[in-house]
């Protein structure tokens, strides 16, 4: 019986085609594969669920073993954050045309080019820089590229990064810049979480290719010393790279305003579902300065005119930088990464507009500050741990009598995913967890968390 | 549609969506902006457009209609990585995993972990390798991960090897990603007659500096290197590791495997052979598999099953791990689709996929060679091709002045896509066609007829082809200075306003 | 603040437009509405949930108070049946173009016309009749129309219908044909459920406009006497109308083969979700005979040629029949009914093809026969109640010791929606329920039902 | 796309989807076909096409792209019932109620029943009426239900009244549906100057035979009958009931209500004023409301709340019920969308909807009258219009020979829809435009500019308009005999094959 996914599996058609080709069996078409390496065994795979209904039933059954963040309250962030995804983002992401397009040319896939050009342009406004690339895998990868760009520009081999960086992201960057660059961690102020400027000055040198900082930081505080840090970096000839959560940019200054040469970050907060951590999309922005642009490895879609007047066309700017053109001589490499997340982010930013993005920032600030208020009213709880302004996330320190792990287990029973346990990566912070509050948390949710914690700790 | 750029739709005061304000919270916390120090507070709002909801929707719907997805098109002109049919039912499954957070307690994501665990098992069968990671976010990142493993492997053994060998018809990233990892890249060219990578060149290339080899097979020409096992043996003897770029394994799943060929590791693009849709260029998964000996080098975490607790869990305990190549565990929706696709086909179905892909490709090749004047294949002396063919329009160009890029633009007028980029042009005027198993004979014929018509035009009315497209969404772009001249390039709308005053 | 759904609610724009019109306020534009009837009060409506997230949260909360037939096992049919809906049916139904189109003309909405023409054509093959109309509200409405057509054709004023008709459908037909026609119920054979041919012969007369029967019947048995019934009808000059469940037509003869002049039925089984009973769509088919066609009140899309050669166009056949053209002089009336369900049914039939529709029929037969087997093995249970061939549904008679109502309450506790309680409308069938089995029920489901019933009755 | 008819895609042996076979059941029951008596078993399989899955998908996706939905278009040319923006988020809610069976136990559908109950409460506020049913599957069926109630009402009172009065610019079904219910229909024409229905004609029409009146207001001309209360009073005095066709209440929600106008009942098309999308023509809901005195006549069931059991339930206990007009309780997804839409707007939002709809309409009317030569409105002496305007192109036709249908076809070339059907043509060469509140001024301007261009062409190059469309999906259909000649009409593919041998 012919399979619905394989039209030419119909026997009659197979025979017709074989006869056109002039061979008697498909086997003959594999004649270039020597018998010694041919796989003649049977792959041990489950019996197929050929009818769509059986497949659906099987998948529904297996997926019902998950509990989602719509079933439970989720206060986890740390690189993938719970946000509300507008229905129109899903609608556009799900359009068959966008979903199943690949590397179409500027003519027959004009829509895809325009959408990604608009992504670049909208992000450029958000970070207030002139150049944004087509999206890349993730924040970590984009940060790694920014550091390698710095290295290619100034030839130096060290990058200073904050000790408060996300452990996930650190591992990504660390592998990506190895062996070209060495990462040096700068310490933080135990009171405020901020980068220790004295330590920075100690560690910076003529070998420093770049200084990297994040705003808001992984631990949720706002690095208010951005300007000083960038100045220190620039003074010693280093490039300043800032990683940023774009959902903060309605209320926080974009890094370009305090000295960033390259801004990177993740698109996930901009209308992309968490997808078990699969919702990432890195962005990279810089100035319209050749020195920088020629070192960007990713694709950049640029506007152009066609032979017809008043018609926008699009194409690749400086395509010869890329590995498609230059193989190992290229600036790093480029391939399938996260284009559709870029289109979704474009839809999201178009929906929010300047007022929406500001309201989003305010809404997140309101939730976090309210959460600080009610959580810190619980006996023995310190929220936030750092004396600093925060955005979206902050460290909550619990009394030692119950470990974060135990607390989280008990929260789970109440239908709550508690904050991220920080003890493995930040033992110096004590019995602490990283809590995340966004526009999806209404007062009743935060009160429910506080009530549960009171019971658990009480 | 002559759809404007989104900024042109802006109308001050319009709103696309409103943000949930919780008035009760607002009353409790008052002015939150003042919690941010003055110098860190944004003063000028970003100049995003202000557009009502329906108009935003309409804008992006119209752009979608100006895009040809594989769902709409006979998309066989992509080549090297033609998208196959991605069953719509898989989108239902994907929608069920949207709201999972990667740090949820393991007990609450058992379904997700089970799918990852089982897909690993499936891919082991398909490749003969011993353990898979889904972390790489695409083929290039998987190549980079392989290069990272090769580096870590030699480093652990205290050997200082810094050369990676690839072939010219392997994917550009097979050369580019190792270079990023600090390797010197040595490229093997093929025998000019057969198009098969030259084993003598390989022998000459290996040395004590050889860290490894990363190659595709079949290559982008569609030619399968029959001596691949010998290649791997040579590299192994020199002390290197062999990495298999199986991004596109569509013609050979169930037919030939990484293990029997002698590879130590390899990867599959799930958004290709395993049918996840491409989404205009990702997100994606390059599923990375290694032999047992290299398991400890994989990026963390991998998924394991603890029979005692009857629990799938994330295992971070890989002593030689390269760390991570991407945050978290991979693009999970892609994993879900690949799992569902394999479940729908089973052992025989997968082999049928490969066989029909090869049948379709050979059918198309024979029709083009027999019926289209001016078209030839690369390495015409060797007609054995697996899942795709790189064609050459040298003859057409010589005889008519019409080249590959002209044909590509003209095909857009017929509603078809043919991909431009096969740099560097080792094969003159290259085009690559890969039909996959997803298209019926009638559709293949339809595509070939269009191609035939364009070639006819090239001989009879070449201007029609050279000035194409005529009835596609837009017309030909002739002034390429906007892509190369720093004074002109407009990578964003704001640059277009600055450099051109918003005028074309 | 301007509302996202109302672009021109921006104050500045309002003023601009008012000034163009030359009035000073919107109020002035209502000058034709006299003050005495103006509503000056405040409608008592809840505070709006203006942000999409709050609305989403509210709706999710309220809808979470439902339990769906995916949560529980459903064995209820009776006019809305649980079937598997292929993903592609949802994809096409959800396409923004089809979802939001309305009454487009043959030029700019060509796709809609073609899809509905294809619906007509595919249904024509299924029922094996030459003419099918654009879909109408429901089976009941279509049946009513068929009877009125008969009345208009032969001028008679009575219709004979089976006593086993669905109570829902009866009420619809009854109101629809009133006062033109009188419905006369013909009795059924208590053993087999079939129409009592003797009673039919008694009741048929020169006043009988039509005889109406259903196959399969509401109670699930196959009316095997279709041919005789149609002959009896035709012999006395009446028109024969047959209502049919289209999912049976891969295995059952279409009514046209045993004498039906008009075939009607519901599209819901063809890829349309149950939607709490909102998944209906009536169809009406007949021969290509002017006498019949001119009496059809609904729209019929026909093929035509355009001025360009070899190009299909579409248009309304005999538009002047319709109320759009003729108002009260028309054949009944036509309006917005169930077009998108027609498009979905077209997709469904295109997917299934001749083999799929037959396999569907077989799969349903297999499930029902297996269910008969396991249910009738339970002590005191009679399944099926009627000695007759069945399709999809059958009457299960339970021992009197527990009422169907009690049984269903207990089944509910086990996550099962039991069969439809027949005691209100068919008291003569005793303690009986109407059970439905389709391709969505796998062996484990039916076994689960049987086990639960054993426990409940045991 | 030049997409073939689906039958032309058939290729014997291909399958679009497979049906779940349960082998265990199959083994248990054996050959099930033999359970059906030979004469009832289908012998020849239906001649449906055989097509693989991707090709079926592609076919209908392409047809969708050949359709202009309101989501893509500036759809204001529909008129009389222009679709407004249907918020996409509402589709999420709809997807949550797909798998509810209408006969589920009430405890398991409390969410569904609550939504019906509350929407009833909302519509009571909006109309001033006392109880709603959502059973009618569209406006025409709601009119039929009103006619049925009028019949039942008089029958119960033992009165034999058989005349229904309507106006010529009420919807055609306001005449047609009562006729089906056995009523004689008397149509009131308007004052030829003002376009307002003639009260004297009404007075002449009422009698002891008058069962009721069913009218729209504003009418399809966009004119509001200011003496509507007087109309109702006259009918009431004659002993009739008054039914309000509020299918389109878009210009007046929150401004004027059925109650204050004097109506006994009325209906709203939820797929219109309350934003449910139209789906190419349904399914839909005509929400039918009545005054307290008529509540017992409503179709069964209605939704009630039992405070004792704290349970919403289906109430079948309406002693005078007309029975049913449609099986079950209405098209529930439409009810859900209407509920969500009202919840998103609230009291002020609904009034804003009406006001902006009226503002937009008057803006468009004034632009057309001032700027477009050849266009006029119906009843030009009366410029007061509510939510729409029926225009007349009589002048254009007289001066250029280009009529309404030509303009309509030509507008398709600009990607716009203008609706043909406003029969009978009381207004010569009619066109109706209703902008609703959903379109921005820029979009209204864009539509008007296209219209202007078409009118310009009509004067300067009329052939362009008369022979349109030129660049739409298809070209002009001139041979209308295929729609009227029994020997030619091809209502199905099989008839086309029989009558024309499959040739155009």
Interchain pair D14, B62: CB under 8 A: no
Buried b (16+ CB within 10 A) or exposed e, D27-59: eebeebeebbeeebebeeebbbbbbbbbbbbbb
pLDDT over 80 at D64, yes or no: yes
Question: For chain C, give me the number of helices (H) and strands (E)?
Answer: 15, 14
* C-alpha distance from D388 to closest chain A C-alpha (Å): 29
pLDDT, residue B2, reads 84
* C-alpha distance from B61 to closest chain C C-alpha (Å): 8
* Rounded Cα distance, A90 and D318, in Å: 44
Least confidently predicted of A162-171, D420-429, D473-482: D420-429
pLDDT, residue A458, reads 87
Question: For chain D, give me the number of helices (H) and strands (E)?
Answer: 16, 12
Q: Tell me the pLDDT of chain C averaged across its residues.
A: 97
pLDDT over 80 at A208, yes or no: yes
What tens digit of pLDDT does each residue of A30-78 get?
999 999 999 999 999 999 999 999 999 999 999 999 999 999 999 999 9
Strand duo A208-215 + A239-244: pairing = parallel
Q: What is the mean pLDDT of residues C418-426?
A: 97
Interchain pair C52, B18: CB under 8 A: yes
The token pair that represents C409 in the structure block: 């309450």
The token pair that represents A37 in the structure block: 């390496």
Instruction: Name the residue with tokens 């008291």.
Output: C427
* C-alpha distance from C399 to closest chain D C-alpha (Å): 22
pLDDT, residue A1, reads 72
Find the angle CA(D34)-CA(C428)-CA(C412) to the nearest 5 degrees: 75
Q: What is the mean pLDDT of residues C285-300?
A: 97
* Rounded Cα distance, B329 and C222, in Å: 55
Angle between helical axes of A443-457 and A404-413 (0-180°, round to 10): 120
pLDDT, residue C82, reads 98
Q: Which chains touch A (3 or more CB pairs under 8 A)?
A: B, C, D
| B–D interface: beta-carbon pairs under 8 A | 47
Domains annotated for chain A, with CATH where assigned, are 7-50 (no CATH), 73-84+357-457 (3.90.1150.10), 87-348 (3.40.640.10)
Interchain pair B85, D14: CB under 8 A: no
Q: What is the mean pLDDT of residues A431-454?
A: 98
Q: Identify the DSSP state of A30.
A: T
- Which residues, at least 6 apart from A256, have a Cβ–Cβ distance to it below 8 Å? A127, A128, A129, A263, A285, A287
What tens digit of pLDDT does each residue of D115-158 get?
999 999 999 999 999 999 999 999 999 999 999 999 999 999 99
Q: What is the mean pLDDT of residues C398-421?
A: 98
* Length of chain A measured in residues: 458
* Rounded Cα distance, B344 and B321, in Å: 34
pLDDT, residue C325, reads 84
Interchain pair C3, B15: CB under 8 A: yes
**Do A364 and A357 meet the contact criterion of CB atoms below 8 Å apart?**
no
* C-alpha distance from D163 to closest chain C C-alpha (Å): 12
H or E segment to which residue B241 belongs: strand B241-246
Residues of chain B with CATH 3.40.640.10: 90-342
**Do A372 and B68 meet the contact criterion of CB atoms below 8 Å apart?**
no
pLDDT, residue B101, reads 98
Residues of chain D with CATH 3.40.640.10: 114-342
Q: What is the mean pLDDT of residues C280-291?
A: 98
* Rounded Cα distance, B468 and B475, in Å: 7
Interchain pair B11, C52: CB under 8 A: no
* Rounded Cα distance, B274 and B382, in Å: 29
Q: Could you tell me which chain D residue has the CA closest to the CA of C1?
A: D349
* C-alpha distance from A53 to closest chain C C-alpha (Å): 6
* Rounded Cα distance, A448 and A355, in Å: 30
Fold of B90-342: 3.40.640
Interchain pair A3, D15: CB under 8 A: yes
Q: How much of chain A exceeds pLDDT 90, in percent? A: 95
Interchain pair C39, D256: CB under 8 A: yes
* Length of chain D measured in residues: 504
pLDDT over 90 at C1, yes or no: no
More confidently predicted of D423 and A377: A377
Q: Could you tell me which chain C residue has the CA closest to the CA of D194?
A: C32
| CATH hierarchy code of domain D114-342 | 3.40.640.10
**Half-sphere exposure of B126 toward its Cβ, with a 13 Å CA cutoff?**
35
Nearest to A1 among D15, D52, D89 (CB): D15
Buried b (16+ CB within 10 A) or exposed e, B17-43: bbbbbbeebbeebeebeebbeeebebe
pLDDT beneath 50, residues of chain B:
none
**Do C426 and C396 meet the contact criterion of CB atoms below 8 Å apart?**
no
What tens digit of pLDDT does each residue of B434-448 get?
999 999 999 999 999
What tens digit of pLDDT does each residue of D325-337 get?
999 999 999 999 9
Helix, strand, coil distribution of chain D in percent, nearest 5: 40, 10, 45
Interchain pair A440, C60: CB under 8 A: no
Nearest to C327 among D24, D35, D175 (CB): D175
What tens digit of pLDDT does each residue of C164-183 get?
999 999 999 999 999 999 99
Q: State whether residue D86 is helix, strand or coil.
A: coil
Q: Could you tell me which chain A residue has the CA closest to the CA of B126?
A: A43
**Do A396 and A435 meet the contact criterion of CB atoms below 8 Å apart?**
yes
pLDDT over 80 at D423, yes or no: no
pLDDT, residue A357, reads 98
pLDDT, residue B472, reads 86
* Rounded Cα distance, C386 and C400, in Å: 18
pLDDT band for position D425 (50/70/90)? confident
pLDDT over 90 at D80, yes or no: no
What tens digit of pLDDT does each residue of C114-169 get?
999 999 999 999 999 999 999 999 999 999 999 999 999 999 999 999 999 999 99
**D469 upstream amide cis, omega within 30 of 0:** yes
D9 to chain A: which residues are within 8 Å by CB? none
- Which residues, at least 6 apart from D5, have a Cβ–Cβ distance to it below 8 Å? C114, C117, C118, C121, C312, D493
Q: How much of chain A exceeds pLDDT 70, in percent? A: 100
Integer-rounded Cα Rg, in Å, for chain A is 26
D155 to chain C: which residues are within 8 Å by CB? none
pLDDT, residue D319, reads 98
What tens digit of pLDDT does each residue of C203-221 get?
999 999 999 999 999 999 9
pLDDT, residue D413, reads 92
Angle between helical axes of C110-127 and D493-500 (0-180°, round to 10): 80
* Rounded Cα distance, A287 and C188, in Å: 85
pLDDT over 90 at C379, yes or no: yes
* Rounded Cα distance, A391 and C287, in Å: 71
Interchain pair B52, D415: CB under 8 A: no
The token pair that represents C163 in the structure block: 């006593």
Residue (of D392, D402, D389, D403) closest to D428 by Cα position: D392
């Amino acid at each position: 019986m012919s399979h619905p996914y394989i039209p030419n599996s119909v026997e009659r058609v197979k025979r017709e085609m074989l006869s056109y080709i002039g061979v008697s069996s498909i086997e003959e078409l594999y004649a270039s594969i020597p018998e010694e390496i041919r796989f003649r065994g049977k792959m041990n795979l489950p019996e197929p669920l050929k009818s769509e209904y059986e497949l659906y039933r099987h998948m529904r059954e297996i997926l019902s073993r998950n509990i989602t963040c719509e079933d439970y309250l989720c206060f986890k962030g740390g690189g993938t954050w719970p946000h509300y995804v507008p229905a129109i983002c899903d609608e556009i992401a799900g359009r068959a045309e966008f979903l199943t397009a690949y590397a179409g040319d500027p003519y027959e896939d004009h829509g895809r080019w325009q959408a990604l050009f608009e992504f670049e342009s909208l992000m450029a406004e958000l970070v207030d820089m002139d150049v944004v690339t087509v999206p890349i895998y993730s924040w970590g990868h984009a940060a790694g590229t920014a550091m390698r760009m710095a290295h290619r520009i100034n030839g130096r081999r060290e990058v200073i990064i904050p000790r408060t960086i996300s452990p996930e992201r650190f591992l990504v960057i660390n592998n990506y810049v190895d062996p070209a660059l060495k990462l040096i961690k700068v310490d933080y102020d135990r009171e405020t979480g901020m980068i220790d400027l004295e330590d920075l000055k100690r560690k910076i040198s003529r070998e420093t290719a770049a200084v990297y900082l994040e705003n808001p930081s992984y631990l949720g505080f706002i690095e208010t010393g951005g300007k000083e840090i960038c100045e220190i970096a620039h003074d010693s000839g280093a490039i300043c790279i800032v990683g940023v959560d774009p959902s903060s940019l309605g209320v926080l200054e974009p890094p370009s305003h305090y000295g960033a040469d390259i801004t990177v970050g993740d698109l996930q907060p901009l209308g992309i579902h968490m997808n078990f951590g699969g919702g990432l999309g890195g962005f990279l922005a810089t100035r319209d300065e050749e020195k920088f642009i020629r070192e960007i490895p990713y694709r950049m879609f640029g506007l152009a005119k066609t032979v017809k007047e008043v018609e926008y066309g699009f194409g690749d700017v400086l395509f010869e930088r890329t590995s498609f053109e230059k193989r190992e001589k290229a600036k790093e490499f480029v391939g399938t990464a996260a284009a559709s997340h870029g289109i979704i982010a474009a839809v999201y930013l178009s929906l929010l507009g300047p007022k929406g993005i500001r309201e989003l920032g305010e809404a997140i600030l309101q939730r976090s500050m309210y959460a600080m208020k009610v959580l810190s009213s619980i006996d023995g709880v310190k929220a936030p741990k750092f004396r600093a302004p925060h955005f979206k996330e902050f460290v909550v320190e619990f009394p030692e009598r119950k470990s974060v792990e135990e607390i989280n287990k008990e929260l789970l029973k109440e239908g709550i995913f508690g904050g991220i346990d920080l003890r493995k990566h930040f033992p110096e912070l004590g019995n602490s967890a990283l809590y995340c509050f966004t526009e999806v948390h209404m007062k009743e949710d935060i009160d429910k968390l506080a009530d549960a914690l009171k019971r658990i700790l009480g | 549609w002559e759809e404007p750029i989104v900024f042109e739709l802006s109308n001050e005061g319009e709103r696309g969506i409103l943000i949930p304000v919780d008035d009760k919270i607002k009353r409790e916390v008052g002015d939150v902006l003042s919690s941010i120090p003055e110098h860190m507070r944004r003063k000028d709002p970003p100049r995003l457009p202000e557009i009502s909801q329906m108009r935003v929707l309409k804008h992006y719907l119209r752009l979608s209609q100006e895009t040809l997805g594989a769902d709409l098109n006979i998309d066989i002109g992509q080549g090297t990585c033609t998208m196959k049919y991605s069953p719509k039912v898989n989108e239902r499954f994907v929608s069920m995993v949207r709201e999972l957070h990667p740090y949820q307690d393991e007990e609450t994501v058992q379904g997700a972990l089970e799918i990852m665990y089982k897909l690993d098992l499936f891919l082991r069968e398909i490749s003969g390798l011993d353990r898979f990671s889904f972390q790489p976010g695409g083929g290039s990142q998987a190549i980079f991960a392989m290069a990272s493993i090769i580096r870590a492997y030699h480093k652990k053994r205290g050997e200082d090897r810094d050369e990676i060998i690839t072939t010219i018809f392997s994917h550009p990233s097979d050369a580019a990603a190792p270079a990023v990892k600090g390797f010197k890249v040595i490229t093997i060219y093929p025998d000019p007659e057969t198009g098969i990578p030259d084993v003598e060149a390989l022998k000459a290339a290996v040395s004590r500096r050889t860290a490894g080899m990363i190659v595709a097979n079949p290559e982008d020409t569609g030619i399968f290197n029959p001596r691949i096992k010998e290649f791997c043996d040579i590299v192994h003897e020199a002390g290197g590791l062999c990495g298999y770029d199986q991004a596109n394994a569509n013609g050979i799943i169930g037919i030939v495997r990484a293990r029997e060929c002698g590879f130590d590791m390899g990867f599959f693009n799930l958004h290709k052979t395993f049918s996840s849709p491409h989404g205009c260029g990702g997100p994606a998964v390059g599923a990375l598999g290694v032999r047992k000996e290299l398991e400890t080098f994989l990026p963390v975490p991998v998924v394991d099953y603890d029979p005692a607790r009857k629990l799938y869990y994330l295992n971070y305990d890989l002593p030689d791990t390269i760390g991570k190549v991407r945050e978290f565990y991979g693009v999970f929706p892609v994993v879900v689709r690949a799992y569902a696709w394999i479940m729908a086909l089973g052992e025989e179905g997968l082999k049928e996929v490969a066989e029909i892909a090869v049948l379709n490709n050979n059918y198309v090749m024979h029709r083009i060679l027999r019926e289209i004047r001016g078209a030839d294949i690369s390495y015409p002396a060797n007609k054995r091709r697996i899942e795709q063919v790189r064609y050459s329009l040298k003859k057409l160009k010589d005889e008519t002045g019409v080249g590959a890029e002209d044909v590509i633009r003209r095909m857009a007028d017929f509603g078809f896509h043919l991909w431009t980029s096969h740099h560097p042009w080792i094969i003159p005027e290259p085009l690559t066609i890969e039909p996959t198993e997803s298209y019926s004979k009638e559709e293949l014929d339809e595509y070939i007829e269009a191609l035939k018509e364009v070639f006819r035009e090239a001989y009879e009315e070449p201007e029609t082809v050279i000035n194409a497209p005529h009835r596609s969404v837009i017309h030909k772009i002739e002034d390429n200075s906007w892509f190369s001249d720093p004074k002109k390039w407009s990578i964003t709308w704001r640059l277009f306003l600055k450099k051109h005053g918003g005028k074309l």
